[in-house]
Amino acid sequence: MSSAFTQASALFPNVKGPDGFIQTLPFLDVCRQVLPVVDKLGTAFALVKTDIGGNIERLAQRAAKDPERYRRLFTIVQDEVVEKTHTESTSCTKGLLWLKRAMEFICALLRRIHDDAATPLSTEVDETYRATLMQFHGFFVSNAFWLAFKFVPSRDEFLTSVGGSGPEVMGEMLGFVDGFGAILEEVHKWMVEQGLNDPTKV
């Protein structure tokens, strides 16, 4: 039985089209495959799951308006820049930015879980949040996350829920993190180059 990690990794070849550009729907499909993993982190990650799901649907709805034009992910953002709507909080540009950040947080956490078997999951969540999302969160949002993270399951509970801590599952986890991490890095670099990596806190 394949894990959520192998199911997501199996989609990687579709993310980049023959033209070398990131394809919208395959990218969003990979993001959707992450949601069951987020679920396994329990109610502590309800805020993260809601944010991820909302931003996936925001981008999917825009893509559905013109599937051929919005086959490439970045075209959605480029059109908003032309329309001068990219700075709006409900824009797809902001949606992609926050989707990327949430996925970076999840990937960084999974890498820590893989690399460090001795540290409690609650500590890994805390330290990963500080290193990734926290810099973009204001006082109230940060407090909401700190409160939620008090309900993180144990490391053993999480690993059991995703298939165990054996070498096969851990290898699948690392394979997913490496593969998706490279895609997220490409999205990040492009948004930085376009001046769209808005550091404003929420």
d(CA 50, CA 174): 25
Contacts of 195 (CB under 8 A, 6+ apart): none
Distances (CA, A) of 60 to 5, 9, 39, 102, 139: 22, 20, 21, 17, 31
Q: What is the pLDDT of residue 61?
A: 99
Q: Are 142 and 126 in contact (CB under 8 A)?
A: no
Looking at the predicted structure, is the pLDDT value of residue 5 above 90?
Answer: yes
Determine what percent of the chain falls in helix, strand and coil, rounding each to the nearest 5.
Answer: 75, 0, 25
Mean pLDDT of 22-46: 96
pLDDT of residue 136 exceeding 80: yes
3-state secondary structure of 66: coil
Residue 1: pLDDT over 80 = no
Max Cα–Cα distance, the chain, nearest Å: 50
Phi, psi angle pair for 16, to nearest 5°: -95, 125
> What is the residue whose two structure tokens read 């700075």?
87
d(CA 183, CA 107): 11
pLDDT of residue 133: 96
- Average pLDDT of span 82-104: 98
- Helix pair 73-83, 92-115: axis angle to 10 deg: 140
What average pLDDT does this structure show over 155-179? 94
Alpha carbons within 13 A on the beta-carbon side of 20: 1
Mean pLDDT of 74-89: 98
Average pLDDT of the chain, as a whole number = 96
| pLDDT band per the 50, 70, 90 thresholds, residue 86 | very high
Extract the tokens encoding 160. 């059991």
Count Cα neighbours of 115 within 13 Å in the Cβ-side half-sphere: 10
The mean per-residue pLDDT over the stretch 103-129 comes to: 97
| Candidate from 41-45, 90-94, 180-184 with smallest mean pLDDT | 41-45
pLDDT at 164: 87
Q: What's the rounded Cα separation, in Å, for the pair 179 and 138? A: 31
> In CATH, what number does 4-10+19-192 get?
1.10.3520.10
Given pLDDT bands bounded at 50, 70 and 90, which one contains residue 51? very high
Q: Is the pLDDT of residue 2 over 80?
A: no
For residues 145-154, give the mean pLDDT: 93
In the predicted model, is pLDDT for residue 193 greater than 80?
yes
Q: Is the pLDDT of residue 82 over 90?
A: yes
State the amino acid at position 164 in one-letter form: G
